[in-house]
Structure 1
Amino acid sequence: MKFEAVHACCLLLALLPNVACADMTLVSEGAPRAIIVIADKPTRVARYAAEELVRHVEKASGAKLEIQAESTVNAGTRPRIFIGDSAAVRKEGINVEKLGPETFVLRVTDEAVFIAGQDGGGEPLEAATMGGTLWGVYEWLDRDLGVRWLWPGELGTHVPKTKTVAAKTCDETTAPRLFQRRLRAGLGFESEHPALGFTKEAAKQFSEEQSIYLRRHRMGRSFPVSYGHAFTDWWEKDGAEHPEWFQLLESGKRGPNKKGGRFSMCVSNPDLQREIVARWTAKRPADATTPGFINACENDILGLCTCEKCRALDGTAPADYLKFYPPTSKMTGSRFVSDRYARFWLGIQQQAPAGVSVIGYAYFNYFQAPTTGIKLNENILIGYCPSAGWFPRSAEEHAWMKQQWADWRATSARLFMRTNHLLDGYCMPFIFAHQFADEFHHAVEKGMVATDYDSLTGHWATQGPNLYTAARLHVRPEASAEAVLAEYYAAFGGAAKAVENYFAYWENYTMGSREKIGQTMESLQASRWRSWAKAAHVLYPPECFAPAAKILDEAARTAGNDAEAAARVKFLQLGMEHARLCARVSSQLSLATSTATKDEIKKAVDELITFRRAHERSGIGNFNHLAWVEDLSWKLSEETKQTPDLYP
């Protein structure tokens, strides 16, 4: 999230360099001086924001600030921190009702601190709840206290210690750069072998801590927006009456090629376009005030219609159309159809009410931009959703991926990031933070308006640099990868350099394994997001862990007497130990090669589950995600179909 802010104090200092603004002391020598004031009937967001402020200031200084309702505050000289809308905030001239969505004012004067923003009425941790005031508190904690949220949970919350806490004088009105900031939580993975996953209480803890983490990185949205594969049930409902709305196959048949099969739409059909607008209009509340979005995202399949009208809309395929897709890809032999989809979205938008946006995906065989010169507009919002381009990439492939974004942006459509690349890597130390950051920076430079990454699989102890970079860039999008990662490493105190070396080892290992990864996945018929555990033992053999373990031993030594830094190094050690164990089990149970007997399966799985039970509250990774991947990757026992609480 880049902030568009008015820095009144900074401007004054630029004009009058000899004038200093006095900071406001909130805690002095470990003793609270200020009180927090909220409205008598605050929003839930404002109350939670005040509580978050108390928590972090106490962790920094040991001093617990008091929260008081505005009507109960006695006259006095104690500094006051006003959180959320209140009479005092309005008297100060801050009208939150006139602020934009999620916008906040952060004002520190000689007499008080004011943090108030545009809040929603829902639960503070819900992504759909606007959190302007909460964003203001996090901005202050970030800048003035130096708080860094490395990973979910208390251990991952880095708050520098200080006996004195002061708020620097400022006056800013700040809005999110991106109207939606989303890392999908990855909490919905379900397996037929749940014993490999979390127990119920551990899953609850993991979920709660991660939800807090995401809000601390200001994940949310400024207004409701809905999209996804839009037409999945249309054939069942409308196929008999309107077969002409659906793909025409080479056989001359309309609709799916088999019962229950996937299908694409006949996007050149003007009646289909009108029907999409009509159905959206019928569902739109008459008194709706939020921006309107029509979901026109194609189903989860290539654009396959062979009718003459659709084909007449197609442009010439770029020379590099299939260059970076493996031979086994669904894309092999496909027709380039981006121009027909661009005209489809434009046709819907032109029939929609003024100001309404149409959402589509750049996906499969319409991922590359149109080649006929068609111009779109700002009311067409396109999700950048490549079906290839997994990290790590060669320099040529990485440049190609960025060029596709630039080419779509050149059509004048707005773009949001909707990749699946964070699903990659299983729980291995699979690091691509620098390449990820470079793509993010390019997208921001070329007009990115929102994100929706699928998904946050939550392997914090092995993939921390990736995940911290992904979260942090939503808050500071222009920050370099080096600056972001320096924040992460600094939280390890005296072990910072060793931890940096540790992850540099794994990033070099990952980036140097590009060809091996592709070849292994193809030869073992493993998916980059679904069945990675088939290949873990090949890509992460025992010998690759030994150098990394030595570096972490050095990190543990250099952490010295810093208990917090030592605990964070131990967190990384647990993550690597778990990854090594998973790779070993993969070598025994991979569906690609396993000849294990029932007893051998039980022995291997028992060892893994014993480790997970011992450390499932540590937060090192999302064990439910792993159970889902392993279900699709390994030869498993019937016993593991029991719930985790019942497994022997």
Structure 2
Amino acid sequence: MDIFRDISACFRVSAFVCTLCACSPLAAFTVAEYGKLAADIVLPSQPLAAERYAADELKYHLDKAFGSSAAILTEDALARSKYHNHIFVGATAAAKRAGLPGRPFVADEHIVKTAGNALFLLGYDSDVSYEGVTRDLWRPTLYATVYAVYDFLENEMGVKWIWPGPTGEVIPRRRSLRFSSVNRRSREPLADRIMGSMTWNALWVLGFSTYESARAFFDAQAKFLVRHRLGRRRHFRSGHGFTDWWDRFGASHPEYFNLLPGGVRRPAAAGRMVTLCVSEPGVWRQTVADWKKWMDTKGTRQGFEPWVNCCENDYVALCQCHRCRAWDAPDPRFMESPYWNGTVTLDDIESMHRRGNYVFNSLLTDHRWGIMKVDTSLRPVASLSDRYAKFYNAVQAEVRKVNPAARVIGYAYENYLEAPKETRVDPSVVIEIVPRSYFPYDQAESEHFRAAITGWRKAGVKDFIYRPNFMLAGGNYPFDHGRLIVEDFAFAYKNGMKGCSFDSLRGAWACHTMMYYTLIRAFREPLRDYDVSRDELLSAFGPAKKEITRYFDFIRAHTASWTPDEVRRIAWQNPTGNHNGGGSFNTGAAILGDYFDDAFFVKGNKLLDAARAAARGDSMVERRVEFLRKGLGDARLTRLTRIAQKAMDAAPRDKRKADAFKKAFDELVAYRATVEGDFVCNFMYESSKERKGLRWPFTWWKHEPGKTSR
């Protein structure tokens, strides 16, 4: 036994010497040669789950690229390796001996480095579970060794991921791979890279025919997003921060809340949406007291940033008290506004609420996610941004007394989106900016957003979180606002964006393909030119690149042909109840009968036919073309279902119309079951909106573990 132990030790020393051998700066590292792998994958002797995940991802791509099976071993078994070259993944002892920092990186930082016959891929990792790499994207995603692997795959192997699932994996086949010395150390530029609806960890299913199909979709989507480094490196609390205050303080501290017409302090709508009297010192003190108690009991232990959430509830700001009004900058729109000039009564407010969710709001704000009959920009929307800037400053001063490092985070939203005119914002305050835009995202929306973020920056704000709602728009049908969205993303980054938190990811991968790819690509390279990312996606279609370019240009041209006024017109040709027009975030499919015509789908399919013909012989490109066709097919059937529903609603006693709707709906459901395994769309998201907004008869059902289907 002693002899074998000594021999093993000699082998380990030899491997160590080879790993750290001197080499010229231009010495090549060989991964594969003549169709055979020339290196194995080496993990620490006791690897973290994130390091194991990184190694598995590396092996998966090496196997695909070279057509052979890459070996994974731990460092304590290195003596049994048959390879001269090694790819060390994670905080190995070899990395430490090579002078690399091991695990003491900063969050999100990683290294790709060659040294002799070793390639090191490592970064900042926490002890996340293996499944947690893809299922806990809302928590700090501290597994930068995974990012190091993706960095290597993209830059040395030419790998790309254009959408979730195997058809979205662009892994060039190779016989050999050699490259000169590499030494990259980098970190994700944004601390927060978040999109809503990224993951799903429940048992209730809607829109998918089986639990397994739903689970497979969300796992594929999450893996794709991790490959593009979506996640966050810090905990902080934001979002609507006072939703429980009316229940807690409505009786004991009515002075905390907005003063409405008639001199009453109460919610204008539901209690969770009540807004504050932000000039009330008790509000500042209570906010800080709540924050301190939470940090002392939970926040610090859980690693949260010391940020005080001052983001108002999800409603327009309403307080008419003299003190709040004195905080407002002079603005002629106050006297022009029926709410602020005293014309609107409490009875009027209640009447407007009965007429629709956004009827009252539209008097005071110019947001676009409720598509109103009249362009809200034509109404006098007075800005309350100065009072909110003063509120954030007041809470910042209050919290500084107990924690000098604490920072306030507050919204620029609703009727306080415009920049303050007179008030300088404390530079410690972080602004989470929520543009008014929804659908379509056009040049006017871009200019409106740029004016807002530029104005807040001039008012003293250094750091922004970008939180748009426009990814809520539409449904599983083709449209593309990608160019403007990506250009404005870059503009936000140049003006202080430190993170982004997009409200939604609808997951319509086969219909929003170009828009999704170019935006998600910008999350890790915010200044990347749109056309570079666009060409990257188009290149994945190889011999069909020219033809598929025509298809995407066709979608973009159709999208650009619709003005906001035209969308408003068809929205109100398709009302969906409660006095709301169609086409909003719960009712995107309502407008499909008007937004598209039959000719759109005929031409779209002809363009895809041409791409399929150009791809003939390249089976993967053919499958990618068909992926897009499946999204187009779902959009066509969704449109036909909506047309049948509208005919049924117009003749509620006509059984033939009801039968026609049922037939169209059943065909849609059956079609989705045939394509759900290709990850073309998050059918759970889409069907939930179609169910809620259009009353389509989808039903939730609960998966019972141990059963393979519903």
Tell me which residue corresponds to 1:616.
676
1:155 matches 2:167: yes
**Alpha-carbon distance, 1:392 to partner:** 3.0
Q: Describe the shift of the 1:591–1:368 C-alpha distance in structure 2 as closer, same or farther (beyond 3 A).
A: farther
Tell me which residue corresponds to 1:563.
619
**Alpha-carbon distance, 1:643 to partner:** 4.2
Tell me which residue corresponds to 2:639.
583
Which SS does the other structure have where 1:537 is aligned?
Answer: helix
Which SS does the other structure have where 1:225 is aligned?
Answer: coil
Kindly report the root-mean-square deviation, in angstroms, between the aligned alpha carbons of the 2 structures. Answer: 2.8
Matched AA of 1:53 = L
1:358 matches 2:358: no
Matched AA of 1:309 = R
**Alpha-carbon distance, 1:75 to partner:** 7.6
Matched AA of 2:51 = A
**Alpha-carbon distance, 1:258 to partner:** 5.7
| In structure 2, distance between residues paired with 1:317 and 1:139 | 51
**Alpha-carbon distance, 1:23 to partner:** 2.5
Match among 174, 178, 181 for residue 186 of structure 2: 174
| In structure 1, distance between residues paired with 2:94 and 2:566 | 63
Q: Given that residues 245 and 266 in structure 1 are in contact (C-alpha distance below 8 angstroms), is that contact kept between their aligned partners in structure 2?
A: yes
| In structure 2, distance between residues paired with 1:374 and 1:541 | 51
**Alpha-carbon distance, 1:222 to partner:** 1.4
Tell me which residue corresponds to 2:498.
449
1:401 matches 2:410: no
CA displacement 1:309-348 (0-9 Å, x = unmatched)? 1111112349899788666578855542111111111111
Tell me which residue corresponds to 2:361.
none
Q: Describe the shift of the 1:302–1:580 C-alpha distance in structure 2 as closer, same or farther (beyond 3 A).
A: same
Tell me which residue corresponds to 2:348.
none
1:291 matches 2:305: yes
**Alpha-carbon distance, 1:611 to partner:** 0.5
Q: Given that residues 303 and 337 in structure 1 are in contact (C-alpha distance below 8 angstroms), is that contact kept between their aligned partners in structure 2?
A: yes
Tell me which residue corresponds to 2:40.
35
**Alpha-carbon distance, 1:566 to partner:** 0.3
Q: Describe the shift of the 1:285–1:260 C-alpha distance in structure 2 as closer, same or farther (beyond 3 A).
A: closer
1:411 matches 2:411: no
| In structure 1, distance between residues paired with 2:454 and 2:257 | 31
Tell me which residue corresponds to 1:308.
322
Q: Given that residues 534 and 591 in structure 1 are in contact (C-alpha distance below 8 angstroms), is that contact kept between their aligned partners in structure 2?
A: no
1:345 matches 2:357: no
| In structure 1, distance between residues paired with 2:500 and 2:582 | 27
1:229 matches 2:240: yes
Q: Given that residues 117 and 131 in structure 1 are in contact (C-alpha distance below 8 angstroms), is that contact kept between their aligned partners in structure 2?
A: yes
Matched AA of 2:230 = M
Larger radius of gyration: 2
**Alpha-carbon distance, 1:274 to partner:** 1.3
1:600 matches 2:614: no
| In structure 1, distance between residues paired with 2:247 and 2:647 | 36
| In structure 2, distance between residues paired with 1:491 and 1:24 | 27
| In structure 2, distance between residues paired with 1:73 and 1:491 | 38
| In structure 2, distance between residues paired with 1:152 and 1:403 | 35
Which SS does the other structure have where 2:220 is aligned?
Answer: helix
Q: Describe the shift of the 1:595–1:644 C-alpha distance in structure 2 as closer, same or farther (beyond 3 A).
A: farther
**Structure 1 segments unaligned to the other structure (5+ residues):** 1-18
User: Equivalences for 1:466-477 in 2 at 5 Å?
Assistant: 466-477=515-526
CA displacement 1:235-286 (0-9 Å, x = unmatched)? 1111111111111111211121366473101111111111111111112148
User: Equivalences for 1:106-125 in 2 at 5 Å?
Assistant: 106-122=112-128, 123-125=132-134
| In structure 2, distance between residues paired with 1:258 and 1:171 | 58
1:428 matches 2:486: no
Matched AA of 1:600 = A
1:218 matches 2:229: yes
Q: Given that residues 236 and 307 in structure 2 are in contact (C-alpha distance below 8 angstroms), is that contact kept between their aligned partners in structure 1?
A: yes
Matched AA of 1:146 = G
**Structure 2 segments unaligned to the other structure (5+ residues):** 1-23, 335-363, 575-580
| In structure 2, distance between residues paired with 1:542 and 1:167 | 52
1:484 matches 2:533: yes
CA displacement 1:65-92 (0-9 Å, x = unmatched)? 2111111101876111111112111112
| In structure 1, distance between residues paired with 2:282 and 2:179 | 60
Q: Given that residues 24 and 108 in structure 1 are in contact (C-alpha distance below 8 angstroms), is that contact kept between their aligned partners in structure 2?
A: yes
**Alpha-carbon distance, 1:28 to partner:** 1.1
| In structure 1, distance between residues paired with 2:645 and 2:206 | 16
Tell me which residue corresponds to 1:199.
210
**Residues 471-480 or 319-328, more deviating:** 319-328
Q: Describe the shift of the 1:577–1:423 C-alpha distance in structure 2 as closer, same or farther (beyond 3 A).
A: same
Which SS does the other structure have where 2:441 is aligned?
Answer: coil
**Alpha-carbon distance, 1:454 to partner:** 1.5
| In structure 2, distance between residues paired with 1:114 and 1:214 | 24
User: Equivalences for 1:243-262 in 2 at 5 Å?
Assistant: 243-257=254-268, 260=271, 262=273
Structure number with greater CO (CA < 8 Å, separation at least 6) is 1
Q: Given that residues 197 and 626 in structure 1 are in contact (C-alpha distance below 8 angstroms), is that contact kept between their aligned partners in structure 2?
A: no
**Alpha-carbon distance, 1:138 to partner:** 0.7
CA displacement 1:519-548 (0-9 Å, x = unmatched)? 222443124211111111110121222222
1:627 matches 2:627: no
Which SS does the other structure have where 1:113 is aligned?
Answer: strand
Matched AA of 2:389 = A
**Alpha-carbon distance, 1:165 to partner:** 2.4
Q: Given that residues 439 and 474 in structure 2 are in contact (C-alpha distance below 8 angstroms), is that contact kept between their aligned partners in structure 1?
A: no
**Alpha-carbon distance, 1:630 to partner:** 1.3
Q: Given that residues 291 and 355 in structure 1 are in contact (C-alpha distance below 8 angstroms), is that contact kept between their aligned partners in structure 2?
A: no
Q: Given that residues 50 and 83 in structure 1 are in contact (C-alpha distance below 8 angstroms), is that contact kept between their aligned partners in structure 2?
A: yes
Q: Describe the shift of the 1:290–1:108 C-alpha distance in structure 2 as closer, same or farther (beyond 3 A).
A: farther
CA displacement 1:473-529 (0-9 Å, x = unmatched)? 112222211110111111111111111110111101101112422322244312421
TM-score w.r.t. structure 1 length? 0.91
**Alpha-carbon distance, 1:197 to partner:** 4.3
| In structure 1, distance between residues paired with 2:77 and 2:436 | 58
Which SS does the other structure have where 1:130 is aligned?
Answer: coil
| In structure 1, distance between residues paired with 2:625 and 2:287 | 54
Which SS does the other structure have where 1:398 is aligned?
Answer: helix
Match among 292, 296, 311 for residue 281 of structure 1: 292
| In structure 2, distance between residues paired with 1:245 and 1:277 | 14
**Residues 256-265 or 506-515, more deviating:** 256-265
| In structure 2, distance between residues paired with 1:556 and 1:242 | 67
CA displacement 1:47-75 (0-9 Å, x = unmatched)? 11011111111111113221111111018
Which SS does the other structure have where 1:74 is aligned?
Answer: helix
CA displacement 1:422-475 (0-9 Å, x = unmatched)? 111211101111111111111112121001012111111111001111211112
| In structure 1, distance between residues paired with 2:527 and 2:506 | 25
Which SS does the other structure have where 2:556 is aligned?
Answer: helix
Q: Describe the shift of the 1:195–1:396 C-alpha distance in structure 2 as closer, same or farther (beyond 3 A).
A: closer
Aligned residues: percent identity?
28
1:519 matches 2:569: yes
**Alpha-carbon distance, 1:179 to partner:** 0.7
Q: Given that residues 264 and 301 in structure 1 are in contact (C-alpha distance below 8 angstroms), is that contact kept between their aligned partners in structure 2?
A: yes
Q: Given that residues 246 and 271 in structure 2 are in contact (C-alpha distance below 8 angstroms), is that contact kept between their aligned partners in structure 1?
A: no
**Alpha-carbon distance, 1:20 to partner:** 6.8
CA displacement 1:147-182 (0-9 Å, x = unmatched)? 111111111111111111235422222111111111
Tell me which residue corresponds to 1:4.
none
Which SS does the other structure have where 1:174 is aligned?
Answer: strand
**Residues 24-33 or 68-77, more deviating:** 68-77
**Alpha-carbon distance, 1:290 to partner:** 5.4
Which SS does the other structure have where 2:667 is aligned?
Answer: helix
Q: Given that residues 324 and 397 in structure 1 are in contact (C-alpha distance below 8 angstroms), is that contact kept between their aligned partners in structure 2?
A: no
Q: Describe the shift of the 1:591–1:477 C-alpha distance in structure 2 as closer, same or farther (beyond 3 A).
A: farther
Matched AA of 1:464 = T
**Residues 89-98 or 148-157, more deviating:** 89-98
**Alpha-carbon distance, 1:291 to partner:** 3.0
Q: Describe the shift of the 1:53–1:195 C-alpha distance in structure 2 as closer, same or farther (beyond 3 A).
A: closer
